[in-house]
Amino acid sequence: MADRAYVDFNLLNKWDEDKINFVVRLKDNVKFISYGERPLPENKDSNILIDEVILLFKEDTRAKYPKKLRRVAVYDSENDQTIEIITKTEKVFKKSNLCRYK
């Protein structure tokens, strides 16, 4: 897990090469291209709004992390906000886990 204010794509790339899973809150200014949505959990209480595969859009950012990522957005009803994370893990997320990233 990494802090929202600090997204080091070079470091994420190194972690990925070293087979280290990461979950990082997505900053608002990160631009990306969607490569398609993944199926949402059948449990309607999960509050997961989107689960998709993305590629970083800006050339300088993509040079630091050239591989596809997973973007998950979940609605946090307690704080009336949407939380977006990026990761390489294939694990299924639960709302309680994603809300740790607020």
Angle (CA) 12 91 74, round 5°: 85
H or E, element range at 9 = helix 9-17
Range of the domain at 38: 9-101
Cβ of 51: how many Cβ atoms within 10 Å?
A: 18
Q: Total domain count for the chain? A: 1
60 three-state secondary structure: helix
Taking CA atoms, 11 is separated from 29, 40, 41, 93, in Å, by 18, 29, 30, 23
7 close to 27: Cβ distance less than 8 angstroms = yes
33 within some domain: yes
In a domain, 21, yes or no: yes
pLDDT band at 64 (very low <50, low <70, confident <90, very high): very high
Could you tell me the pLDDT band of residue 101, with boundaries at 50, 70 and 90?
very low
In a domain, 2, yes or no: no
Please determine, for residue 67, whether its predicted confidence score (pLDDT) is greater than 50.
yes
In a domain, 87, yes or no: yes
Any idea which of 12-16, 47-51, 91-95 has the lowest mean pLDDT? 91-95
The rounded distance, in Å, linking the Cα atoms of 95 and 17 is 28
Calculate the average pLDDT of the chain: 83
Q: Is 38 inside a domain boundary?
A: yes
Low-confidence winner among 18-27, 54-63, 84-93 (lowest mean pLDDT): 84-93
- 1, part of any domain: no
Q: What is the pLDDT of residues 78-88, one digit of tens each?
A: 899 998 989 98
- Residue 3 is assigned to a structural domain of this protein: no
Mean pLDDT of the region 19-40:
89
